[in-house]
């Protein structure tokens, strides 16, 4: 991770208080020579040494809110050693399992496809900002897909532990894991908790916290300096198969049953949540109906995505089939009575 990060923040810079330079394309981090954590200096109308991204930009017509990023791109790590041989987990800790040679190639290919997609409809000022799982295969995937982006296109990166893989326990006994997975199939994939590990429901809880952090970052435009935010920013989340499915479940409020019908993304694959005509993030802006069905989405979920395509942030879909009529069994009988 240090190689990529050093390209963005040179080693000579000590990260302490953020000082904003109005004519700079980045937020430069430097130490406070007075060693006063609470001191601040005003320069050209901005407060230095505080949190400038929290100060919404003033305009003659009022306050300008930062533009929402154009896309949220979900990337599953490339093929790992554990994907090829599960016995690896008996001798290597899950966070230390890395990519295979094929996985490196998959990550590099994902980066090329991502850049091609962004350039095709991204505007001249587009950039990417990364959130990444701290697991070795996540970091290696990030480093290899990032080869497609020069320094000026990378707005930043944040290692995010809440994006880690589902915990299956510590060093895993291969034969015991077969038994546990068989029990999970009977119990239910979402609620079954592995001994000394997590259930998908546990992952849901921590992803809920990450989602709130992400929403806050989007609302204040944390990815670029105030007044310089572009609507062509792309957020890239590099994580794991189940974690990304849970993220989508939480974002779109899918049910447990709908989650259990979803399939993993391919290694090095990506799912794109693109800003729709009303400003909300929608899967069907980029993906075809056939692609989403292959992923495991039902007709009700696809109908909701069509609504997401035109809805505005904050609006509610009061006719949503996912959270409404599907829970009740008596409506059809009542309708028949009234028809009589």
pLDDT digits (tens, 9 = 90+) for 142-155: 999 999 999 999 99
pLDDT score of 64: 73
Q: How many other CB atoms are found less than 10 A from the CB of residue 18?
A: 16
Could you list the residue range(s) of the whole structural domain that residue 265 is in? 71-275
The first and second tokens of residue 90, run together, are 């008996």
Confidence of residue 340 (pLDDT cuts 50, 70, 90): very low
- C-alpha 12/C-alpha 179 separation (Å) is 52
- C-alpha 265/C-alpha 74 separation (Å) is 10
Look at 165-174, 244-253, 261-270, 279-288 and tell me which has the smallest mean pLDDT. Answer: 165-174
Q: Is the dihedral of CA 188, 296, 206, 91 positive or negative?
A: positive
* Residues in Cβ contact with 52 at an 8 Å cutoff, skipping those fewer than 6 apart: 18, 20, 27, 46, 225, 226
Q: How many other CB atoms are found less than 10 A from the CB of residue 30?
A: 15
Crossing angle of the two packed helices 241-252 and 299-310, in degrees rounded to 10: 60
Domain count, the chain: 1
For the chain, the average pLDDT equals 84
Identify the active-site residue in 77, 79, 81, 300: 77
Confidence of residue 14 (pLDDT cuts 50, 70, 90): very low
**3-class secondary structure for 121-163?**
CCCCCCEEEEEECCCHHHHHHHHHHHHHCCHHHEEEEEECHHH
Is 105 inside a domain boundary?
yes
Q: Note the pLDDT tens digit of each residue in 30-72.
A: 434 444 444 444 444 444 445 555 555 555 555 678 999 999 9
Whether 138 and 77 have beta carbons less than 8 Å apart is answered as yes
Query: Could you confirm whether 61 is annotated as catalytic?
Result: no
Identify the active-site residue in 53, 160, 165, 300: 165
Q: Note the pLDDT tens digit of each residue in 282-335.
A: 999 999 999 999 999 999 999 999 999 999 998 988 878 776 667 777 776 555
pLDDT at 96 over 60: yes
Whether 44 and 207 have beta carbons less than 8 Å apart is answered as no
pLDDT score of 22: 41
pLDDT at 27 over 60: no
pLDDT score of 16: 41
Confidence of residue 238 (pLDDT cuts 50, 70, 90): very high
- Domain of residue 103, CATH code: 3.40.50.1240
pLDDT score of 13: 38
Is 285 inside a domain boundary?
no
Is 12 inside a domain boundary?
no
CA angle, 179 then 184 then 187, to 5°:
130
pLDDT score of 50: 54
User: Is beta strand 71-76 parallel, antiparallel or unpaired with respect to 233-239?
Assistant: parallel
Ranges of beta strands (E only) in 69-140 are 71-76, 127-132
- C-alpha 330/C-alpha 338 separation (Å) is 13
pLDDT score of 38: 42
* Residues in Cβ contact with 109 at an 8 Å cutoff, skipping those fewer than 6 apart: 268
Query: Could you confirm whether 116 is annotated as catalytic?
Result: no
Q: How far is CA 323 from the centre of its chain?
A: 23
Is 120 inside a domain boundary?
yes
> What is the percentage of the chain residues whose pLDDT exceeds 70?
77
Look at 66-80, 219-233, 292-306 and tell me which has the smallest mean pLDDT. Answer: 219-233
Give backbone dihedrals phi and psi of 63, rounded to 5 degrees, phi first: -80, 135
Is 190 inside a domain boundary?
yes
**Distances in whole angstroms, Cα of residue 19 to Cα of each of 89, 158, 201:** 44, 19, 40
pLDDT score of 175: 86
Q: Which of 302, 199, 194 is nearest to 258 (CA)?
A: 302
Query: What's the mean pLDDT in 6-24?
Result: 41
pLDDT score of 15: 38
Query: What's the mean pLDDT in 221-229?
Result: 88
pLDDT score of 334: 54
Look at 106-110, 246-250, 305-309, 322-326 and tell me which has the smallest mean pLDDT. Answer: 322-326
Confidence of residue 250 (pLDDT cuts 50, 70, 90): very high
**Distances in whole angstroms, Cα of residue 180 to Cα of each of 2, 130, 174, 175, 283:** 37, 34, 10, 9, 33
Task: Report the b/e string of 159-173 with b at 16+ CB within 10 A.
Answer: ebebbbbbbbbeebe
- C-alpha 86/C-alpha 216 separation (Å) is 38
CA angle, 150 then 151 then 154, to 5°:
95
Q: How far is CA 84 from the centre of its chain?
A: 25
Which residues lie across from 158 on neighbouring strands? 131
Confidence of residue 176 (pLDDT cuts 50, 70, 90): confident
């Amino acid at each position: 991770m240090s190689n990529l990060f050093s390209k963005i923040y040179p080693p000579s810079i000590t990260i302490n208080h953020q000082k904003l330079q109005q004519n700079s394309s980045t937020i430069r981090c430097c130490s406070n020579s007075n060693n006063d954590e609470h001191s601040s200096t005003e320069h050209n109308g901005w407060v230095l040494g505080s949190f400038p991204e929290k100060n919404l930009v003033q305009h003659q017509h009022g306050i300008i809110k930062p533009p929402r990023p154009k896309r949220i791109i979900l990337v599953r790590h490339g093929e790992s050693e554990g994907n090829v041989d599960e016995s690896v987990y008996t001798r290597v800790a899950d966070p230390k399992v890395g990519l295979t040679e094929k996985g490196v190639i998959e990550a590099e290919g994902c980066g090329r496809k991502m850049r091609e997609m962004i350039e095709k409809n991204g505007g001249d000022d587009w950039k990417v900002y990364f959130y990444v799982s701290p697991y070795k295969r996540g970091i290696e995937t990030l480093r290899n897909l990032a080869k497609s982006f020069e320094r000026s296109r990378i707005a930043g990166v944040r290692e995010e532990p809440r994006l880690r893989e589902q915990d299956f326990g510590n060093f895993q006994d291969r034969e015991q894991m077969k038994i546990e997975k068989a029990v999970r199939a009977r119990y239910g994939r979402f609620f079954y908790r592995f001994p000394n590990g997590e259930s998908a429901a546990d992952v849901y809880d921590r992803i809920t916290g990450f989602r709130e952090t992400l929403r806050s970052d989007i609302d204040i435009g944390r990815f670029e300096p105030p007044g310089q935010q572009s609507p062509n920013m792309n957020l890239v989340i590099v994580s794991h198969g189940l974690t990304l499915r849970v993220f989508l479940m939480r974002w779109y409020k899918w049910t447990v049953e709908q989650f259990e019908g979803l399939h993993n993304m391919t290694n090095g694959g990506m799912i794109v949540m693109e800003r729709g005509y009303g400003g909300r993030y929608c899967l069907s802006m980029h993906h075809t109906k056939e692609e989403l069905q292959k992923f495991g989405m039902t007709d009700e979920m696809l109908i909701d995505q069509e609504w997401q395509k035109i809805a505005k942030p904050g609006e509610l879909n009061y006719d949503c089939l996912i959270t409404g009529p599907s829970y009740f069994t008596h409506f059809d009988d009542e309708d028949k009575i009234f028809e009589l």
